[in-house]
Copies of this chain bind each other. A is one copy, B any other.
Amino acid sequence: MGKGQQTRQAILGQALVLSSECGLSGLSIGLLAEKSGMSKSGLFSHFGSKEELQLAVIREAQDRFAEVVVRPALKERRGLARLRAMVRNGIVWTQKINLPGGCPLMSAALEFDDQPGAVRDAVESSQRDWRRTLVNAVRIAMDVGELAADTDPEQVAFEIVGISLATQQGQRLLRDADAEQRAMRAFERLVRDYLAVPS
């Protein structure tokens, strides 16, 4: 990795931290340059525009999400165990990689849903990816006979996303120490409803 790529990665690390606290639109180039210990223009030349920077931040967040949430879960047994690992990883992943302000993609989803453009498109597709991943995991759990055959995978994914959002709000806004526990309880109740009846 050349010098350019190296500092670019360092910048993106800082950018993730900052955007987790201030949001993707609150992320300013001046402040990011200061935190990164370089000049505004020096930093700017790595991206060419603020929009390009935001897109890079989204890609970086997606990459780390895949690395920290999805990949470890794939090591779990196919079925409910894997789905459960995804949910749990999805709830704690920002703590694990030290993002002090929670998941930037979650905030961005609310920030940009009314701002047409490339950033919105990227945020949308990242959310679709995540829901699709969840749907696949649910389908596998159906295939292995752990979830009922008439389970609606999209519905399950929808509710899991809801649990994650409520958890983030509980943890960060309400400082509720029980939020994570509530989340897992909600998840267990959810899958219990769709458990396959043993024949």
Chain A contact residues, CB within 8 Å of chain B: 20-23, 25-26, 100-102, 106-107, 109-115, 120, 123-124, 127-128, 131, 154-155, 158-159, 161-170, 172-174, 179, 182, 185-186, 189, 193
Chain B residues with Cβ below 8 Å from A154 are: 182
Q: How far is the CA of A193 from the CA of B22 in the complex (A)?
A: 39
Q: Across the interface, do B101 and A169 meet the contact criterion of CB distance under 8 Å?
A: no
Q: How far is the CA of A109 from the CA of B36 in the complex (A)?
A: 28
Q: How far is the CA of A173 from the CA of B107 in the complex (A)?
A: 12
A166-B158, A169-B113 given as contacts; is B127 within 8 A of A174 (CB)? yes
Q: Quick one: which of B115, B158, B173, B189 contacts A113, CB cutoff 8 A?
A: B173
Chain B residues with Cβ below 8 Å from A123 are: 173
Q: Quick one: which of B21, B113, B166, B173 contacts A162, CB cutoff 8 A?
A: B166
CB distance from A85 to the nearest CB of B (A): 20
Chain B residues with Cβ below 8 Å from A22 are: 114-115
Q: Across the interface, do A159 and B186 meet the contact criterion of CB distance under 8 Å?
A: yes
Chain B residues with Cβ below 8 Å from A23 are: 23, 25, 110-111
Q: How far is the CA of A169 from the CA of B172 in the complex (A)?
A: 19
Q: How far is the CA of A170 from the CA of B174 in the complex (A)?
A: 23
Q: Across the interface, do A102 and B111 meet the contact criterion of CB distance under 8 Å?
A: no
Q: Across the interface, do B124 and A101 meet the contact criterion of CB distance under 8 Å?
A: no
A111-B111, A114-B100, A155-B186 given as contacts; is B127 within 8 A of A169 (CB)? yes
Q: How far is the CA of A162 from the CA of B164 in the complex (A)?
A: 7
Please name the residue on chain B nearest to A161 by beta carbon. Answer: B166
Q: Across the interface, do A186 and B162 meet the contact criterion of CB distance under 8 Å?
A: yes
Chain B residues with Cβ below 8 Å from A127 are: 169, 173-174
Seed contacts A158-B182, A162-B165; 11 additional CB < 8 Å A-B pairs: A25-B26, A109-B169, A111-B111, A113-B173, A127-B173, A127-B174, A158-B166, A158-B170, A161-B169, A162-B162, A162-B186
